[in-house]
Amino acid sequence: MIALFSLFLLFLWPVLIFILINLILFPFHFTLRSIFSLITIPFEIFNIAVNKKLRQNHALEHATINVIQEYYGNELLLSGFAKENGFYIRGPIRPELLEEAAKVGLARLNAGDTYLAIHEKCGTSIAMSNFVASVVFLLFLFKLGYFNLFNILVAMVLANMFGPLLGKMTQQFLTTTHDVSDIEIIGIDYNYPQFGVIFPGNMEYFVRTRSLSRIP
C-alpha cells in the first residue's frame, strides 16, 4: 500500500509543480498579452479603417458567409479573410455554391441589406473582446498595484459581456462598409487538397474582386 502511495506521489508531484508554475506565471503572461493587445489591436483596426478596398471585401466576405448560412444554418463552419483584391473562404462548401452566394451577397448589399456586412463571429469581435479584457485588466493593475487571478477573471467576464457589442460596432463603422457599388466579382481560385472530395472541410477558396472604376 505504501509502495502504491509512493508511486502515486511520484507521478503526482510533476503535475502539481506544473500547475503551480502556471498559476504563478499566468498573471505575468496575461499582463504581457494585455500590453501587446492594447498596442496592436487599435493599429490593426486603423489599417483596415483607412483602406476602402479592404473594408469592401471584408463586408462582401461576411455577406457571402451570411447568405450561405441562411440556407444551410450556422452549424456549417466557415471562416474568411479579406484582402485588397478579394477574400478567402475556408470550409465545406462547393465552389459553384460559393460563387453564387458571393454574387447574391454583393447584389443584396447593393439592394440595401446592409446587415449582411456584419458577422457575429468575425475576428474583429474576438479582437475587441481581447481589447476590453486588456484594458480592464491593466486598469486593475495600475489602480491596485498588483495582479491576481480575480482581476483576470473580472476582465474576462467584462470582455465576454461587452466585446461582442463593441465588435459589431467596430465592424459597422470601421472594418466594413456596405457601399460595394463600385466592385465586382471576377472569379474564384480554388484548390482541392488531397482527399478534398472526401473531406471538403479542408477546401480553401479565394474570391477575386476588382474595382469597376478601373475597367476601361
Question: What are the CA-CA distances from residue 187 to residues 73, 81, 87, 96, 206 (Å)?
Answer: 25, 16, 11, 11, 8
Would you state the pLDDT for residue 177?
95
Q: What is the pLDDT of residues 102-141, one digit of tens each?
A: 999 999 999 999 999 999 889 888 888 888 888 887 887 7
Cell output for 97: 455554391
Residue 101: pLDDT band (50, 70, 90) is very high
For 64, residues 6+ apart whose C-beta sits below 8 A from its C-beta are 80, 87, 89, 98, 101, 102, 105, 207
Query: Tell me: the pLDDT tens digits for 186-196?
Result: 999 976 655 54
For the full predicted model, state whether its pTM sits above 0.75: yes
- Cα(106)–Cα(63) distance, integer angstroms: 7
Question: Which pLDDT does position 174 carry in this prediction?
Answer: 94
Q: How far apart are CA 132 and CA 189, in angstroms?
A: 37
**The pLDDT of residue 196:** 47
- pLDDT higher than 60, residue 169: yes
